[in-house]
A and B are shown apart, each in its own frame.
Chain A
Amino acid sequence: MALIELRGVTREYHMGDVEVRALRGVTLDIEAGEFVAIMGTSGSGKSTLMNTLGCLDRPTAGAYRLDGRETSTLDRDELAAIRNRTLGFVFQNFNLLARTSALENVELPLLYAGVPAAERHARAATALERVGLGKRLDHTPSQLSGGQQQRVAIARALVGEPRLILADEPTGNLDSATSIEVMALLQALGRSGITVVLVTHEHDIAEYAARNITMKDGLVISDVRREPLGAELPA
């Protein structure tokens, strides 16, 4: 059984009078531990697919089983619980809470999981050390560089020990050197057994993934497995 099973997933929504068919029947399996890049031009449906995978959105039709569980029938609270326990998000614009320390940003998922304060601090600190920010626990986002902010975001995504990390254009706001650092981090997570799905429109970023899925007009048009490029962490 695959971690992610999509069966004929469609997603339609209305923008004014226009009906947009963002997904037109996507069938896809992603195994646990895979490192997948989803490619496509804007409007190809890759963001909608990502939102669907992230349980932020529900398919109009079709089935989405995550870790064996059908998600299309879950209510908002149950979806929140899945996002909290099974998923971790990394966004293009980092989406850290402003004027809030790195440590507290990372603690956020644990807060909603009901983890006691002491354990929360300890786990968040460990997660920040894992992304190389063990010395910047008290820094607020405005005191951190873009790459550091994204690493805080990655720490926040992994602190809850999720099965799946979803990264939406994680390097979109970063220069190429920092992008490689971030990709190295994601690859390291992949090696530790976490499934990583990232959305990007940059081919050189997609090369770090072992599987490239290309979308166009709401459909998967290519799905190739390949030997990934190894991202080197700067010494």
Chain B
Amino acid sequence: MNLLAVIRVAIRALLRNRLRSFLTALGIIIGVAAVIAMVSIGEGAKARVEQSFSAMGTNLLVVRSGSSSMGGSRGGFGSQPTLTWDDLEAIQTELGSVLYAAPELRTNAPVISEEQNWTTRVAGVTPDYLLARNWHIASGSSLPEDPNSGAKVVLLGATVVGKLFGAYSDPVGQIVRIRNVPFEVIGVLAPKGQSPMGDDYDDTALVPVRAFADKLQGGLKKFISGTIYVSAAPGVPTARAERDLGNLLRDRHRIRFGAEDDFNVRNLAEMASAQEESTKTMTSLLAAIAAVSLLVGGIGVMNIMLVSVTERTREIGVRMAVGARPRDILMQFLVEALVLATIGGLCGVLLGVGIAQQLSKSFGWALLIRVDVILLSVAVSAAVGIAFGLYPARKASQLDPIEALRYE
């Protein structure tokens, strides 16, 4: 008896008790629908989080100087300047796995316009920094091309513009004073919003790194008193860029094998993956709910199949009398459970997608419908059908034909 014929027989048997089949499948339909709806919305939320991480800058590594150690008291990272401008240049030129390497010298300083003042994060950076950290220019122009330019120009973040000049003003060309040094506003940064930690990205002012070192905060000659942001080249795993970077700096700083590094590299991609970790916890929770609902659905399938086997005992007897082998009977009932569960799974997918779309429309939630989740749901439904159909099907196949034929 070929599979197609078996499936036809199964569908026929299920259609014979439409309402009952539907109610049985309902357990699986609801389970799958709930999972699809929740996962679609959960994935949508996750995609939003990922977006906010990409605002921070993609594939970023943050390099800091090492710690100082004086009289047994150890300072934190950055307390002892060890990174030099030569190191920066070496990172830029010698590493193929690095796309951009840019310094960031940072201080908090009041920025004063003609009417207002606002204390913000002022950072000395290079044009590469804007690229590495995904800053775009909303109006005006960017920093001078020359990374060593000492021009007294400043790019203002949207928040700073709002505080100093009012929300919808265009301050390009105005002069602001930072620590009493006049800087010309040459551009406004496009807003990035909040960082994953809730900091306001846009509460910042960027000036050329030379101007920062010369005019705002005394430089440290050949040392960088700040951070180097490094972005990995496209297609290069951040872990590899991190390794290359570490090797280069250890080499340049002549650190012996096994000795402690005098610098520190942090992988921001790891932070993103930490965030993903929490989403994973959420996903496992969903999977647990799915497992429970499918278990309940599966028990429903088993229950109905047992009833069906009992009801159709005589039919089983007839089939055996005309030559059905035990495995034919087994297949018949197994396929019936499989078809029931799979159709339930498919209906559940449709219902789940519908619910997710309705919810996202009504509440404005982000939505991401993943094909792999849909396929997995249907596959799991099918597996549930087989798992819970097996016992009733075995029971049917083990019936004694004489008893079965005599069954009233």
A and B associate = yes
Contacts from A to B (Cβ < 8 Å): 51, 54, 56-57, 76-77, 80-81, 83-85, 89, 91, 95-99, 108-109, 111-114, 117, 156, 160
* B116-138 with Cβ < 8 A to chain A: none
Tell me whether B325 and A80 are in contact (CB under 8 A). Answer: yes
Q: Residues of A contacting B402 with CB < 8 Å? A: 51, 56-57
Q: Residues of A contacting B317 with CB < 8 Å? A: 95
Which residue of chain B is the closest to A96 with respect to CB atoms? Answer: B318
Closest 3 CB pairs between A and B? A84-B323, A109-B322, A80-B325
Q: What's the nearest-Cβ distance from chain B to residue A90, in Å?
A: 10
Q: Does B5 contact A (CB under 8 A)?
A: yes
Q: Does B140 contact A (CB under 8 A)?
A: no
Tell me whether B324 and A76 are in contact (CB under 8 A). Answer: no
Taken together as a complex, chains A and B put the C-alpha atoms of A80 and B327 apart, in Å, by 11
User: Contact flags (1/0) for B1-34 with A, using CB distance below 8 Å?
Assistant: 1100100000000001000000000000000000
Q: Residues of B contacting A91 with CB < 8 Å? A: 405
Tell me whether B315 and A80 are in contact (CB under 8 A). Answer: no
Q: What's the nearest-Cβ distance from chain B to residue A106, in Å?
A: 10
Taken together as a complex, chains A and B put the C-alpha atoms of A76 and B320 apart, in Å, by 10
Q: What's the nearest-Cβ distance from chain A to residue B148, in Å?
A: 84
Q: Residues of A contacting B318 with CB < 8 Å? A: 95-97, 108
Tell me whether B2 and A114 are in contact (CB under 8 A). Answer: yes
Taken together as a complex, chains A and B put the C-alpha atoms of A56 and B323 apart, in Å, by 10
Q: Does B401 contact A (CB under 8 A)?
A: yes
Tell me whether A89 and B321 are in contact (CB under 8 A). Answer: yes
Q: Does B326 contact A (CB under 8 A)?
A: yes
Tell me whether A84 and B315 are in contact (CB under 8 A). Answer: no
User: Contact flags (1/0) for B304-323 with A, using CB distance below 8 Å?
Assistant: 00000000001101111111
Q: What's the nearest-Cβ distance from chain A to residue B318, in Å?
A: 5
Q: Residues of A contacting B405 with CB < 8 Å? A: 56, 91, 95
Q: How large is the interface on B (under 10, 10 to 19, 20 to 34, 35 or more residues)?
A: 20 to 34
Instruction: Enumerate 15 A-B pairs (CB-CB under 8 Å) in ascending A order.
Output: A56-B405, A77-B327, A80-B324, A81-B323, A83-B321, A85-B323, A89-B321, A95-B314, A97-B315, A108-B318, A109-B322, A112-B1, A112-B325, A114-B1, A117-B5
> Which of B315, B324, B401 sits near A112, CB closer than 8 Å?
B324
Q: Residues of A contacting B244 with CB < 8 Å? A: none
> Which of B5, B16, B314, B323 sits near A80, CB closer than 8 Å?
B323
How many cross-chain pairs have Cβ atoms below 8 Å apart between A and B? 62
Taken together as a complex, chains A and B put the C-alpha atoms of A108 and B317 apart, in Å, by 13
Q: Residues of B contacting A89 with CB < 8 Å? A: 321-322
User: Contact flags (1/0) for B369-408 with A, using CB distance below 8 Å?
Assistant: 0000000000000000000000000000000011001000
- Name, among B315, B317, B319, B325, the residue most crowded by chain A CB atoms within 10 Å (CB to CB): B325
Taken together as a complex, chains A and B put the C-alpha atoms of A179 and B322 apart, in Å, by 23
Q: Does B328 contact A (CB under 8 A)?
A: yes
Contacts from B to A (Cβ < 8 Å): 1-2, 5, 16, 314-315, 317-328, 401-402, 405
Q: What's the nearest-Cβ distance from chain B to residue A127, in Å?
A: 13
A sample of 17 more A-B contacts (CB under 8 A), given A77-B325, A80-B326, is: A51-B402, A54-B321, A80-B320, A80-B324, A80-B328, A81-B325, A89-B322, A95-B405, A97-B315, A97-B318, A108-B322, A111-B5, A112-B1, A112-B322, A112-B323, A117-B5, A160-B323
Tell me whether B401 and A84 are in contact (CB under 8 A). Answer: no
Which residue of chain B is the closest to A76 with respect to CB atoms? Answer: B326
Taken together as a complex, chains A and B put the C-alpha atoms of A21 and B347 apart, in Å, by 55
Taken together as a complex, chains A and B put the C-alpha atoms of A89 and B314 apart, in Å, by 14
Q: Residues of A contacting B16 with CB < 8 Å? A: 99
Which residue of chain A is the closest to B401 with respect to CB atoms? Answer: A56
Tell me whether B325 and A76 are in contact (CB under 8 A). Answer: yes
Tell me whether B322 and A156 are in contact (CB under 8 A). Answer: yes
Q: Residues of A contacting B322 with CB < 8 Å? A: 83-84, 89, 108-109, 112, 156, 160
- Name, among B315, B317, B323, B405, the residue most crowded by chain A CB atoms within 10 Å (CB to CB): B323
Taken together as a complex, chains A and B put the C-alpha atoms of A112 and B318 apart, in Å, by 12
Q: What's the nearest-Cβ distance from chain A to residue B116, in Å?
A: 86
Which residue of chain B is the closest to A89 with respect to CB atoms? Answer: B321
Q: Residues of B contacting A80 with CB < 8 Å? A: 320, 323-326, 328
Q: Residues of B contacting A95 with CB < 8 Å? A: 314, 317-318, 321, 405
Tell me whether A108 and B319 are in contact (CB under 8 A). Answer: yes
Tell me whether A113 and B321 are in contact (CB under 8 A). Answer: no
Which residue of chain A is the closest to B8 with respect to CB atoms? Answer: A117
Q: Residues of B contacting A85 with CB < 8 Å? A: 323
Tell me whether B321 and A77 are in contact (CB under 8 A). Answer: no
Q: What's the nearest-Cβ distance from chain B to residue A28, in Å?
A: 20
- Name, among A91, A96, A98, A111, the residue most crowded by chain B CB atoms within 10 Å (CB to CB): A111
Q: Residues of A contacting B2 with CB < 8 Å? A: 114
Q: What's the nearest-Cβ distance from chain A to residue B6, in Å?
A: 9
Tell me whether B5 and A109 are in contact (CB under 8 A). Answer: no
Q: Residues of B contacting A76 with CB < 8 Å? A: 325-326
Q: What's the nearest-Cβ distance from chain A to residue B156, in Å?
A: 78
Taken together as a complex, chains A and B put the C-alpha atoms of A160 and B328 apart, in Å, by 18
Q: What's the nearest-Cβ distance from chain A to residue B326, in Å?
A: 6
Which residue of chain B is the closest to A78 with respect to CB atoms? Answer: B325
- Name, among A83, A99, A114, A117, the residue most crowded by chain B CB atoms within 10 Å (CB to CB): A83
Q: What's the nearest-Cβ distance from chain A to residue B407, in Å?
A: 11
Q: Residues of B contacting A112 with CB < 8 Å? A: 1, 319, 322-325, 328
- Name, among B16, B318, B321, the residue most crowded by chain A CB atoms within 10 Å (CB to CB): B321
Taken together as a complex, chains A and B put the C-alpha atoms of A234 and B222 apart, in Å, by 120
Q: Residues of B contacting A54 with CB < 8 Å? A: 321
Which residue of chain A is the closest to B323 with respect to CB atoms? Answer: A84
Taken together as a complex, chains A and B put the C-alpha atoms of A113 and B324 apart, in Å, by 9
Q: What's the nearest-Cβ distance from chain B to residue A183, in Å?
A: 22
Tell me whether A113 and B314 are in contact (CB under 8 A). Answer: no
Q: Residues of A contacting B328 with CB < 8 Å? A: 80, 112
Q: Residues of B contacting A56 with CB < 8 Å? A: 320-321, 401-402, 405
Taken together as a complex, chains A and B put the C-alpha atoms of A77 and B317 apart, in Å, by 15
